[in-house]
Amino acid sequence: MELSDQSPRQYYAAIKARPARAKFGFGEKPALVNIDLQKAYTAVGEFATAYETDPRQLDYVNELADLCRAKGLPVIWTYVAYMDSGEDAGVWGTRTNTPDSLQNIKVGSRRAEFDDRLRIDESRDIIINKRMASPFHETNLQSLLTWHKIDTVIITGGSTSGCVRACAVESLSRGYRTIVAEECVADKHEIPHFANLADMLLKYADVEPFAVVRDYLAAWPQSAGAG
């Protein structure tokens, strides 16, 4: 079957299976960036229509976060929320204005809250309110990574085709080895999910199984420099 005849899921599997596919690899010191795991997107049946490609997604994210804390590595959580006026959403928030529109995720609202299943340590984890797709856009993320001497960014969250992809592109552009934890990211449908996993794999990031990321973190710093 030609690649052009395959579904996004099949295309991604075919790209991932290429034996000669080069990787960026893990670097010397990682940080975990968990993107927008908030009720606006994860509360299926209340707000979200679908946001899960692996039923254990949040369990896996929690495990990675626990490992990073145990190693003294940065754990970063981002969420999207806007002023009551919505003006800080800019042009991004102008296409529609319905109760579930982007600009109507208000600061302090239930939709802005992190999912209750997450284990967040507010005494040491870093929490960033971002307004645009990339968590690097007009936030202090870059300076935090510089302060911690980070060279590897591990990404979880959603959506794969939106904020995860935007983070991966900017992370690579800023010189970081970029790792997307496969079972830890999700989208509204498998078409954008697998299409963007394939594209990130080809261009911007290593898309690694959760188990590979977990084992790297469990072995850190003994794993430092591993490719």
List active site positions: 163
Under a CB-based contact definition with an 8 Å cutoff, are residues 192 and 200 in contact? no
Alpha-carbon distances of 177 from 14, 35, 46, 187, 189, rounded to whole Å: 23, 17, 36, 23, 27
**Biggest distance spanned by C-alpha atoms of the chain:** 52
Nearest residue to 167 via CA among 77, 63, 62: 77
CA 87/CA 100 separation, integer angstroms: 16
d(CA 206, CA 201): 5
